[in-house]
Structure 1
């Protein structure tokens, strides 16, 4: 069985192609969204999802989130005595989702289509595949998120030629892709984006303004000085951001040094605060249109994906840029997972789906370092020579020729990078080839460099010394910051030793984590009320009577809803 997974920065989801449609798979708590949060409980067992998210405030030293942003890096997160890489944290989320799917489907899940931001780098894609491997999933295909959204909207079933733009703003990343459909072929014309821009940044902007307006006068200057305070700020910022979608004025309130700090923010003020972020959203859209050589009015449809597109300011931005309302009849939180399920159905050759050819692009420019002449006889290294330009349709093969710059030069060092900067120091190093050349006067020896980039995101570099015909090859399979095969085996063994919090207890653990968080966040009569209701529920747990436990759990949930009001995933 193949499932489709949207591995998100804030939330992750799963769907399956069944009975001719994409079906969302609920988790153990009955929700379609699983927060991409991992933590350890008081016994050191691993918690994933909602109970872990509620412990972000109460146990920040044992809980972590937003790790998708660090995929492909060697960043390490310390949780208690345990240390985790981003791939391992993502693997724990994927493993939880795999177990949810197996429980829902009643059969073993062996393979998954996992979605990634279109603008994910080579290293980030490889790290995502490794996360799937660590979770016990075969991941033959990574699907770009905007392409998944297009599949979910059924654009691949259209009989007419069409061009459309997918605007995908998630919790931590932003992608825009322009796709064209013709004669059963769905072709990505161009992709652009920002891997460090998402809904979470709008929350951070609100927090920063709150500190500027009322925090600093009260002595609150550093939002991250205290982990508990920072998570409280983030939770309140998220609530305010969501409330501004339906209200003109919302109070941003937290308690600091036993005193409430309150700031009233209006929708107009929020729009002004978010203007730098909105500008960052516009730039990739304009770049993608330029690269695709398509004007905005030539697009047949604008599609929104990602939970952050619910915000009115985002819808207004899109409507203003394109002069029309975007398509948003599908749930933006679920559309990418549904598209992944469609791709899974295509892979399983489901009869309900017409076969379609999909092409994609290389999202970054790939090239080599060269030296440029800055004065007669003087050269300076560190410049970037593009060989495969960004948004070239893959598979693709391109060639450039370089020459020696010094007399009697014995070798040419071909250093390979990806990125868009003129200087290699601002691009990402991928690998290098040492190419011996015959010693001759400067410029008399030339080396042809051919790059070949395939559909799996693997880059092969081949050099040919024109003077001798000698060839050298390098396959870029590993990147700095990405685990090597032997390291994957070691991490698999280490993850296997971890104790996972018992699944059958998860629903009770989740409500206790929420009760603990609210107890710490409230005072006075509200705190006493929560403490009393929690004690009643714990007494029911001690009885081991499942009917009594279920009734007590519902009573505690009602009590917590009474104190907290509306909650969200």
Structure 2
């Protein structure tokens, strides 16, 4: 049985796809939302969810929350005498969700699709997989949260074609994705985000305001937890009240402050500005104008804030959609993906595509002047927001004549210096003796799929020698045979677009018509051929497909006009 899990910063959910629809599974308290909170009771027992939530206030030293923000780091959380890594705490939440599902479904759950923020890097994704493995699950797929939301909305959308933007503000992260729906295909055009921006940060502002107005300094852990809870309640009231008062009881006095919605909005202006930047980046990468969006979809509990809803309406000039519960939409989408993995008959017509959230490349050196090099420069091979699965090739050469070894460091990230990116792996390629640097060419091909498998192949042109490295973010989850099977399915991607049949046929047709025409028509066809060949070199499947259709239309107009 495959389930869909939304492992959230504030709350987590689990669902299944059965009989043509998604079902969210309630926990033992009858609630779909299970707080992502872990605590230790006075007797030493582990408490999860609602059972641990109250202890955030009464026993904060024995309780942990918001640990998703630390996934992939070395941070630990101390609960009493015990220390826990974020993966271990997340595993406890997952085990609780799975236990609820098994009781509800009456059968064992062994596999899951788990949602992650689109902007999670491979280290954070690895940590999520590790959490599931600790909980005894095999992860069939990690699905980006906005992509999951798109799946949930895609099933409810009556339009044949639709372009929309998913605006996802959870407790700890912010993601935005531009999605296209057409003929049963859910295609992610671009994703961007901020892994350290969410509802928790808006609470931090309220706490800071309280400290400033009350002049109260450092608080005990218990009072800190009480203030956090009071700030959460105040944040909800700010959506509807003119002035909100909140505070804590310390000794014999109740220490409180008041704040108006306008004052709060002015204080959170920097956070709202941070929400704009990923939106602009995603739209730019997708090459889509704001006016071309059919809808904007709000996802995540923090989008209930009036300030965020007002910002979105102002940015896009339209009211956003919220007809699926913002807290539940990601879990429903993960359940749909689980149904796709189980090959549910009701989902036969649904095709899901996604993009690579970060740029993948290798370390290189740039010649600044003869003999003077800048080292440690990131050379992109698969750029962010490339449709996956994808395969790209770049050619490199050694710096010096007679250089015997070419070291290839593989990195993930957007920074120009590789030291500011994440290193994924490294290997060496042997070069022939007596080589001339500029004549010794090494082709480096990256092939990347939706399971996070990155295959790097370096081929020395002069000798044909080949070195291969496979980097998988889900080590321990997929067997070597499964990895090889996935790579085999991607073999066709290793054909350069200029060598693919449909592109060869289109160029042959264009060249034939070019030879038949004279003057202005010949000149125009020649320009179209040049442009198509340039786009083929860019190796972007989406651009190639779009221009091929445009070229076909132009050639049809020439050939079939009266």
Scaled by the length of structure 2, what TM-score is found? 0.81
Cα shift at 1:19: 3.9
Contact 2:172 2:195 in 1 (8 A): yes
Match of 1:68 in 2: 68
Farther off after superposition, 233-242 or 432-441: 432-441
1:44-96 deviation per Cα after TM superposition (whole angstroms, max 9, x unaligned): 21111112122123222221111111222333323233332222111110100
Residue 462 of structure 1 pairs with residue 457 of structure 2: yes
Residue 57 of structure 1 pairs with residue 52 of structure 2: no
1:228-287 deviation per Cα after TM superposition (whole angstroms, max 9, x unaligned): 232222212211111111112111312456543322111001111111111111111111
Match of 1:298 in 2: 292
Q: Which of 220, 237, 243 is 1:243 aligned to?
A: 237
1:439-458 aligned at under 5 Å gives the runs: 440-458=435-453
Cα shift at 1:485: 7.8
Q: 1:33 to 1:49 in 2, by over 3 A?
A: same
Contact 2:154 2:186 in 1 (8 A): no
Q: Matches of 1:394 and 1:483 in 2, distance apart?
A: 20
Contact 2:300 2:327 in 1 (8 A): yes
Farther off after superposition, 270-279 or 81-90: 81-90
1:357-378 deviation per Cα after TM superposition (whole angstroms, max 9, x unaligned): 1111101000111122234311
Q: Matches of 1:444 and 1:346 in 2, distance apart?
A: 49
Q: Which of 470, 473, 486 is 2:468 aligned to?
A: 473
Match of 1:82 in 2: 82
Cα shift at 1:3: 2.0
Q: Matches of 1:100 and 1:200 in 2, distance apart?
A: 27
Q: Matches of 2:10 and 2:299 in 1, distance apart?
A: 14
Q: Matches of 2:58 and 2:21 in 1, distance apart?
A: 41
1:173-322 aligned at under 5 Å gives the runs: 173-215=173-215, 218=216, 220=217, 222=218, 226-256=220-250, 259-322=253-316
Cα shift at 1:106: 2.2
Match of 1:545 in 2: none
Contact 2:431 2:460 in 1 (8 A): yes
1:356-435 aligned at under 5 Å gives the runs: 356-435=350-429
Q: Secondary structure at the match of 2:93?
A: helix
Q: Secondary structure at the match of 1:406?
A: coil
Contact 2:298 2:321 in 1 (8 A): yes
Contact 1:94 1:132 in 2 (8 A): yes
Q: Matches of 2:214 and 2:425 in 1, distance apart?
A: 49
Match of 1:533 in 2: none
Cα shift at 1:157: 5.4
Contact 1:192 1:285 in 2 (8 A): yes
Contact 1:346 1:355 in 2 (8 A): no
Q: Which of 318, 321, 326 is 2:320 aligned to?
A: 326
Q: Matches of 1:182 and 1:475 in 2, distance apart?
A: 34
Q: Matches of 2:381 and 2:119 in 1, distance apart?
A: 19
Q: 1:484 to 1:182 in 2, by over 3 A?
A: closer
Q: Matches of 1:404 and 1:397 in 2, distance apart?
A: 23
Contact 1:167 1:175 in 2 (8 A): yes
Contact 1:150 1:156 in 2 (8 A): no
Please list every run of 5 or more consecutive structure 2 residues that lacks an aligned counterpart in the other structure: 479-562
Contact 1:35 1:50 in 2 (8 A): yes
1:140-179 aligned at under 5 Å gives the runs: 140-155=140-155, 158-179=158-179
Q: Secondary structure at the match of 1:153?
A: helix
Q: Matches of 1:259 and 1:373 in 2, distance apart?
A: 69
Runs (4+) of structure 1 moved beyond 6 Å? 482-486
Q: Matches of 1:74 and 1:471 in 2, distance apart?
A: 36
In angstroms, what is the RMSD of aligned CA positions?
2.1
Farther off after superposition, 416-425 or 119-128: 119-128
Q: Secondary structure at the match of 1:31?
A: coil
Higher relative contact order (CA 8 A, sep 6+): 1
Aligned residues: 477
Contact 2:154 2:181 in 1 (8 A): no
Match of 1:505 in 2: none
Q: 1:156 to 1:294 in 2, by over 3 A?
A: farther
Cα shift at 1:469: 2.0
Please list every run of 5 or more consecutive structure 1 residues that lacks an aligned counterpart in the other structure: 487-569
Cα shift at 1:309: 0.5
Contact 1:156 1:184 in 2 (8 A): no
Q: Matches of 2:459 and 2:345 in 1, distance apart?
A: 48
Farther off after superposition, 57-66 or 153-162: 153-162
Q: Matches of 1:210 and 1:340 in 2, distance apart?
A: 39
Contact 1:156 1:356 in 2 (8 A): no
Scaled by the length of structure 1, what TM-score is found? 0.80
